[in-house]
Amino acid sequence: MMKNFSSSPLHSNSPSQSQSANHHIRNNKKYSFLSSAVPPRFPVRGYGFCMAALFCFCFLSLLFQLNGGPPKILQDIRQYLGKSTYLDDHGPPTLKVLPFPSQVVYNRVGKCGSRTVVILLRLLAEKHQFNLVSADIHNKTRLTKHEQVDLMNNISSIPQPFLFTRHVHFLNFTRFRIEQPVYINIVRDPINRFLSNYFFRRFGDWRGEQNHQIRTPGMKDDERYLDINVCILENYPECSNPRVFYIIPYFCGQHPQCREPGVWALERAKQNVLDNYLLVGILEELEDVLLMLERLLPHYFTGVLNIYKSPDYKKMGNMTGTVRKHTPTLEALQVLYHRMRYEYDFYNFIRDQFHLMKRKIGLKSVSQPPAYSPAFLRDLSRRTPEPLNENEELDTEDLEDWIRVIYITWL
């Protein structure tokens, strides 16, 4: 006899039991949906670890951008994990291309047109975006070794490209194992430079009537109004050696013997010009000097002639002329020339080198008459124009015209 298991209590499905099971399933589904919608909770330690990792990532990214590449530790990690394809996709970072030369020093000689050139440089620096550092130190041209090193380190730390200018004797950077910059300079006929300095110290220039009192506040009236002929012929310290031995030390350097008038300082100055100076021009041919600088250093001096010839610049440039300047007698000039014989030897050397460079570049221009010599000073003793009276004034152009008249008469 067969048993009927369908009627067994274990397998019977009553309506109440079926509803209870369905309600339990629905509650489980609802709970699982709510649990998936609520974000999981992290411990404080895990949260701090994530924030630290994010900070490190940002910090390393900043280093990557500032240094132009990743830190060494990231490079080691990349090498360990495998080659990165960033350089293949983007290429190496772009490097700033500096002009050559990007370090220029203009150790300007006093009363050789330096203020005129500095005005031009200020306008050019703004136009061409190079760093111009102009030190207004006029009475510290000779430095101790410690001062030399400090100044050279300060110059070398200027962001490139730069042009540094100051009244200072030549500095030998390579002697102290510092990269040597390129030098430029301008010189002037030694007697003209001496006269300009003599009267400038006493009476200043057209920038202001009281300019001379600011520069030489302790100068007494007896010294300020001292006749230049008396100063030269009676051998006052200001008008004799070593004070008139002025231009050569700017090129000879910081050696103590460079301040002693003689052949040693002269020859060393010439050699430094040949070895370290890109250009040394002469003030008597300033426009040609500016044109040469424009060709040799275009990233500094492009457009300099246009600025120099502009009416606005002429207004500023005319204010730098020395006032109350007049010419000594022929006898005083002869004595002064003899005291400056080494200066004239160097000036003529610079003049010849400048004209040689002009010919090499193909610059054709009319040169000014050469500097006068003892022979023509002696021969013209009876034909020299009368010197101006003490109360008369003569500016730079008139003085050069006066010398040119003498030269033409000599020819």
Q: What amino acid is encoded at 255 in this protein?
A: H
Q: What amino acid is encoded at 151 in this protein?
A: L
Q: Are 187 and 350 in contact (CB under 8 A)?
A: yes
Q: Are 100 and 160 in contact (CB under 8 A)?
A: no
Q: Are 232 and 328 in contact (CB under 8 A)?
A: yes
C-alpha R_g of the chain: 40
As a whole number of angstroms, the distance between CA 400 and CA 203 comes to 20
* CB neighbourhood size of 60 (10 A): 13
As a whole number of angstroms, the distance between CA 213 and CA 352 comes to 39
Q: Are 105 and 134 in contact (CB under 8 A)?
A: no
Question: Which runs of consecutive H residues, i.e. helices, occur in 204-285?
Answer: 211-215, 221-224, 228-233, 247-252, 263-276
DSSP 8-state symbol, 322: B
Residues taking part in catalysis: 167
Dihedral angle sign, alpha carbons of residues 400, 404, 410, 411: positive
